[in-house]
Amino acid sequence: MSSYNQYQSCIEACLKCVSACNNCAASCLREDHVQKMARCIRLDMECAAICYSAAQMMSLGSDKAKSLCAICAEICDACSVECGEHNDDHCRKCAEMCRKCAEECRKMAA
């Protein structure tokens, strides 16, 4: 079991990503063209869920945290790509947070 301090930067990146993804999903739901944002919203929700779970597992010092972080990085990458295709500020911010989280999770999972 690793220490909480060892995971701190990854935990923080995951929690920032949760916030950005939740904001992006909520903002996309208010768009006039909400149907066109369905994939973005779905990935935002998936990403927020896995990032929160990864942060929890790291906080607990779980021996499964590395495995979960590897999956988290994959989902963050997918969300980043999708959000990067949209011109909205909330999508750009989400894409940036997802990229940072994926990078931290990959380091953690290594």
Domain that holds residue 8: 4-109
d(CA 29, CA 42): 11
Q: Collapsing DSSP states into helix, strand and coil, what is residue 52?
A: helix
Q: What is the pLDDT of residues 74-101, one digit of tens each?
A: 999 999 999 999 989 999 999 999 999 9
What is the pTM for the complete model shown?
A: 0.93
In the chain, how many domains are there? Answer: 1
CATH number at residue 93: 1.20.1270.360
32-65 pLDDT per residue, tens: 889 999 999 999 999 999 999 999 999 999 999 9
The CA distance from 104 to 108, in Å, is 6
